[in-house]
Structure 1
Amino acid sequence: MIKNFILALTVLFTFQTVASQEVASLVENNRWSIEKAEEWYAEHDWITGANFIPSTAINQLEMWQADTFDAETIDRELGFAEEIGFNTMRVYLHSLVYKADKEGFKKRIEQYLKIADKHNIKTIFVFFDDVWDANPKIGKQRAPKPGIHNSGWMQDPGYPASNNEALFPELEVYVKDILRTYANDERVLFWDLYNEPGNNNKGNESLPLLKKVFTWAKEVNPSQPVSVGLWAWNLTDLNAYQALHSDIITYHDYESPDWHRRVIELLKSHGRPMICTEYMARTRNNYFQNTLPMLKEYNVGAINWGLVNGKTNTIYAWDTPIESGAEPEEWFHDIFRKDGTP
């Protein structure tokens, strides 16, 4: 009995080791070469745009659920973006909307892409997210808290769901379905698989899901590149995995130009095209006028946070609430008022 038990364990361990190696090999073998990444980047005009959610939505759930999907506002506000020369929007999806209404969600994604394409705007879709509220719930979303930055934004899949491996199979179905549906769609610029993994003090707890989403993406192997943006220099394990498995290098930087320039110089060592997928925090000396020319100089794509001031309240700084809800003298993020004036 003991011999048989030991033999069974040995076989199981060997199988798991081989399977793990095959998965790692799949992700590594399907990673784009530097040459392929450079060719892809050269095919596009300089990538400029914003992180987009319509002003009528407080979070990803309110943006995508059937009752609150606001095509009219999306159309109008993407028109504002087109008028100033933006060609790309970074847009967050949410797995709970898919779980509740798979076909309806996919129809609304298609509707969004048609509107964006009408305005000559390509889309970066984001799957998972470790930022802000860890308890997303489907249905009616709460009202914004006056003067509070992103008072209703939701993580995806939330916490502790993000490290509950029993939930990974249904997340795999979601990710692969969306990827397969748009794997060859030229309206999708690239796939941002996981926003700021490890945020909210999760650290390496997010590493298993990060590895899984890269695996699922590379099993589908879409025609667009995949990436996960670097955002916190102390998360060394996560950073290494993200940088070494992304087809293109993406990152976030809300600091002043002297720091940001050093980040660009450091990340250039990867030899891959680069896109800054979050920037612009005016009260931290991170403006269009001192950051955008620098990104253009280095041919780094530029996606700032926020387009139209709305329910996300991102005109307020992360750590400087205004309880009265009065407009700050200097907006933190965002470009337009709801009527399209800057």
Structure 2
Amino acid sequence: MRSHRKQQLIGLLLLLVSFTAVAQTPRWTEEKAAQWYKQQPWLVGSNFIPTDAINELEMWQADTFNPQEIDRELGWAEGLGMNTMRVFLHDLLWQQDAAGFTKRLDQFLGICAKHHIRPMLVIFDSVWDPNPKLGPQHPPVPGVHNSGWMQSPGRKGLEDPAEYPRLKAYVQGVVGKFANDQRILAWDVWNEPDNDNKPAYERVELPYKADYVNKLLPQVFEWAREMHPIQPLTSGVWRGDYSSLDKAIPTAKIQLEQSDIITFHSYDWPETFEERINWLRAYNRPIICTEYMARPAGSTFDTVLPVALKEHVGAINWGLVVGKTQTNLPWDSWKRPYVLEPPVAWFHEVFYADGRPYRAREAEIIRNLTSQANGNSGDSGTN
């Protein structure tokens, strides 16, 4: 009874602070979204973080930002015919040094443009550690998948309405700065917003997290829209039945109703991947899969990427180069770290840290399909 009462009070508080959340800037029409998509090549890429960064903070902070490494790795991606990357930002970077962060982001976009890559930038993310901290980041936990990734906003930023003006300043600052920048493909406003991160962070996660998210997420869309970006806004559905709005869970319903273009995640077998695409056709908007490819789970380049090409659906796999995130290790490494016994096959990632493909045949498949779709000649994708 007490917990129910607490939940009611939380909901009331969030309702009071979110009365401005009703969108006044409309999302794109179906026609505008379709026209935008017609101007794009077949979109293929990876979720990108350089091999020497354990998380978003280490990628972007001044002391650890490494444009030379980014340039090297994006060159390998270009060699496969990849033309986009999905890249995560963080609100604490704006709080720490907005001008410096903006300068580094501009430099990153310049490197992307050099390699004919237009990234999708992720503004917020609800996955993994809910207590992010600026400064030096801890080293990887041996044998554990993504042991240092940080949520944005963290638990404090999400549960405390007094933090919301700061979050709004971040969203509008970064979107506003690059609202007319053709180098950016799209804005992914929030990655897996209602992820409760069980079992990895279950003990420290925010109770009733989805309640907070469902109040804040529409505001985030509106904050970004108020900057009138030329790029579309999206947030990818990732769980439950979203074949119709009536069947979608509350967070997914918000995502589908607010997104200019539809994005989704699928680490499933190709049959399920295709089923999800068929579900999303009902919304009559361009579709991009922003996370896929987990080899032992049945999601592979060999089987999924040809489906994406056939359906003219964008495909952004998780992971480009193996490194400090250790996402070549499976999710179950949170329960059983792979310290002595390696997995049978890499979970994610395309390249070793020296630029060699994990599987030469995979690299050939990606290169052939992107060349077939977009006319890229490509090279070996290696040093």
TM over 0.5, shorter chain: yes
**Out of 264, 269, 294, which is 1:251 matched to?**
264
Identity %: 47
Change in Cα spacing, 1:272 to 1:86, as seen in structure 2 (3 Å) is: same
CA distance in 2, matches of 1:326, 1:142: 23
CA distance in 2, matches of 1:323, 1:282: 16
**Out of 349, 353, 356, which is 1:334 matched to?**
349
Partner of 2:226, secondary structure, is helix
CA distance in 2, matches of 1:323, 1:260: 28
Residue 206 of structure 1: CA displacement? 1.1
- Cα deviations across residues 103-136 of structure 1 (Å, max 9, x unaligned)? 1100100110000100000010001111000110
Which residue of structure 2 aligns with residue 26 of structure 1? 24
- Cα deviations across residues 8-50 of structure 1 (Å, max 9, x unaligned)? xxxxxxxx99x94x752414xx210101000000101000000
The 8 Å contact of residues 129 and 196 in structure 1, kept in 2 or not, is answered as yes
Is it true that 1:207 corresponds to 2:214 in the alignment?
A: yes
Residue 327 of structure 1: CA displacement? 4.6
Letter in 1 for 2:318: W
Task: Calculate the aligned-residue CA RMSD, in Å.
Answer: 1.7
CA distance in 2, matches of 1:323, 1:292: 28
Residue correspondence of structure 1 range 298-313 to structure 2 within 5 A: 298-313=311-326
Which residue of structure 2 aligns with residue 198 of structure 1? 194
The 8 Å contact of residues 21 and 219 in structure 2, kept in 1 or not, is answered as no
Letter in 2 for 1:97: L
CA distance in 2, matches of 1:58, 1:303: 20
- Cα deviations across residues 136-173 of structure 1 (Å, max 9, x unaligned)? 00000000011100000000011142132110101101
Change in Cα spacing, 1:325 to 1:312, as seen in structure 2 (3 Å) is: farther
Residue 238 of structure 1: CA displacement? 0.6
Letter in 2 for 1:96: L
**Out of 278, 284, 289, which is 1:271 matched to?**
284
CA distance in 2, matches of 1:260, 1:216: 32
Is it true that 1:175 corresponds to 2:190 in the alignment?
A: no
Which residue of structure 2 aligns with residue 122 of structure 1? 118
Is it true that 1:51 corresponds to 2:47 in the alignment?
A: yes
Residue 229 of structure 1: CA displacement? 0.5
Partner of 1:220, secondary structure, is coil
Residue 182 of structure 1: CA displacement? 0.6
CA distance in 1, matches of 2:61, 2:252: 33
Change in Cα spacing, 1:339 to 1:326, as seen in structure 2 (3 Å) is: farther
Change in Cα spacing, 1:301 to 1:99, as seen in structure 2 (3 Å) is: same
**Length-normalised TM-score, structure 1:** 0.91
Partner of 2:225, secondary structure, is helix
Q: Where does the alignment leave 5 or more consecutive residues of structure 1 unmatched?
A: 1-15
Which residue of structure 1 aligns with residue 81 of structure 2? 85
Change in Cα spacing, 1:269 to 1:142, as seen in structure 2 (3 Å) is: same
Letter in 2 for 1:337: Y
CA distance in 2, matches of 1:273, 1:294: 15
Which residue of structure 2 aligns with residue 223 of structure 1? 230
Partner of 1:302, secondary structure, is strand
The 8 Å contact of residues 204 and 238 in structure 1, kept in 2 or not, is answered as no
Residue 324 of structure 1: CA displacement? 1.7
**Out of 238, 249, 252, which is 1:239 matched to?**
252
Letter in 2 for 1:219: E
Q: Where does the alignment leave 5 or more consecutive residues of structure 2 unmatched?
A: 1-14, 198-208, 242-247, 358-383
Letter in 2 for 1:213: V
Letter in 1 for 2:346: W
- Cα deviations across residues 72-119 of structure 1 (Å, max 9, x unaligned)? 110000000000000000000011111111111001001100001000
Is it true that 1:39 corresponds to 2:48 in the alignment?
A: no
- Cα deviations across residues 256-279 of structure 1 (Å, max 9, x unaligned)? 111111111011100000000000
Partner of 1:154, secondary structure, is coil
Deviates more, 1:35-44 or 1:318-327: 318-327
Residue 203 of structure 1: CA displacement? 2.4
**Length-normalised TM-score, structure 2:** 0.82
Partner of 1:90, secondary structure, is strand
CA distance in 2, matches of 1:31, 1:197: 19
